[in-house]
Structure 1
Amino acid sequence: MRQLVLAGLSVLALSLSGCGQPAEEASPTPAATIDSAPQNAPGVNVTDAVVRLPAAPGRPGVAYFTVSQGSGAPRTIAATYVEGVERAELHESVIEGGVSKMQPVKAVPIESGKSVQFKAGGLHVMLFDVADTLKAGGTTEITLTLDNGDKVSAPAKIEAIGGGMSGEMDHSTDHSGMDHSGHDMSEM
C-alpha cells in the first residue's frame, strides 16, 4: 500500500513539472501585469480636468474637462468614473421655455478631429457621495469609458466651491430655479 501511495505521489510530482518550466515563470509577475494593462484609448485625450467639491457634505460635486479625439472613427463617451466618488453621472444643462434644466445624458459623441467641453452651463459630470479624502489643492483621477469599452484617464485638480467660476452657474452649489425632472433632489 505504501508503495502505491509513493508511486501516486511521484506521478503527481512529474505531471506538475511536466511542462519543463519553473513554476515562477508560468505566472506573470505583478510588474508584468501592470505593464500589460491597457493604455488610454488611442487618439482620445482628456485635458483641463477639474473636480469642484460640494458646498456641504452630502451635496453633489461637479467635474469639468475637455475631451478630444485625433483622427479615426467617431467615439462616444458611455460612462465616467472619478476616484473618491461613489457615483458619477453625465449631465447637461439646457434652457427650455426660459427655465434652466439639468438632465442626465446617456452618451456623449466625440467627432474625429474635434473636442467636447464639459463646463458650467453645458455638459458636466455630477459627482455624488464625494469622499472626505478629496481635498482642495489635491488631485484625483477621472476615467471615461468609451462605447467600445476602451478607457481614457487623466488627473483632475480638486478645487473648492467657486474656484475660477467667473460668474458662471456652478451646479455644485445652487440648484434653485432649475427643473430637475426625473431627479431625486433629496440626493442633492
Structure 2
Amino acid sequence: MNKISIKPLAAVFALALAGFSHSVLAQDAGLSVQDAWVRATVPNQHATGVFMRLTSAAPGRLVAVESQAAKHVEVHEMAMQDNVMKMRQVPGIDLPAGQAVELKPGGYHVMLIDLAGQIAPGDHVQLTLVVEDASRQQRRVPVDAVARPLNAAAAPAAGHGHGH
C-alpha cells in the first residue's frame, strides 16, 4: 500500500490559507512575507510604493526586487537628512533572524518606477524578492501584493480578494 506524504499536503493547505490573509509563507527560502500591498495609482502616475512585513528564519538581506509591473524596481528608505525627510535608494535591507522587518510608508519600502500601467485598487502585482543569506546564496521569493486605494495607510484593507 502506498503511503501519502503529509508534508506536501500541509504545504498546499498552508498556501491556500495564506490566500485568505494576504500572507505568503515561503518555506523554501525561510522567509515569511505578510500583508504585502501596493498603493494604487491615478492615470499617468509613473511610480508607486510597495509595502510588506518580512521575517527571516535565518539572518539574511533583501538585495533586490523584480516585477513586470514597472521598468525599474528599487529598494528605498525614507530618512531625515539635514532636517528634511528624504527618500533614497538603498543597496539592501538587513533581515535579522526571527525579527519582523516592516516595509511601510515613511520607512523602508519598494518603489515601482516607470509603471507599465495604472494600478487600480484590488489589482494583484507580482513581485520577486531576491534574498541573500549569510553565505551570499541568493533565493527568489514570489510575492503577490494587492493594490489598496491611494489614501491607504499601513492598516490592512477591509475585505480581501482571491489570489491568482
Pairing partner for 1:129 from 96, 114, 120 = 114
User: What TM-score does the superposition give when structure 2 sets the normalisation length?
Assistant: 0.68
CA deviation after TM superposition for structure 1 residue 56, in Å: 4.4
The one-letter code of the counterpart of 1:119 is K
Quote the Cα distance in structure 1 between the aligned partners of 2:110 and 2:43: 18
CA deviation after TM superposition for structure 1 residue 83, in Å: 3.7
For structure 2, the residue ranges without an aligned partner over 5 or more in a row are 1-25, 156-164
Q: Determine if contact 1:40/1:150 at 8 Å carries over to the other structure.
A: no
Detail structure 1 runs of 4+ shifted over 6 Å in the superposition.
none
Residues 54-85 of structure 1: CA deviation (Å, up to 9, x unaligned): 34414311100111112x3x111110013422
Structure with the larger strand share: 2
Give the alignment of 1:16-165 within 5 angstroms.
41-70=28-57, 72=58, 74-132=59-117, 134-147=119-132, 148-164=137-153
Quote the Cα distance in structure 2 between the aligned partners of 1:138 and 1:68: 24
For structure 1, the residue ranges without an aligned partner over 5 or more in a row are 1-38, 167-188
The one-letter code of the counterpart of 1:49 is A
Quote the Cα distance in structure 2 between the aligned partners of 1:53 and 1:85: 13
User: What TM-score does the superposition give when structure 1 sets the normalisation length?
Assistant: 0.60
Q: Determine if contact 1:47/1:154 at 8 Å carries over to the other structure.
A: no
The one-letter code of the counterpart of 2:78 is S
Seq. identity, %: 25
State the superposition RMSD in angstroms: 2.1
- Structure 1 or 2, whichever has the larger Rg, is 1
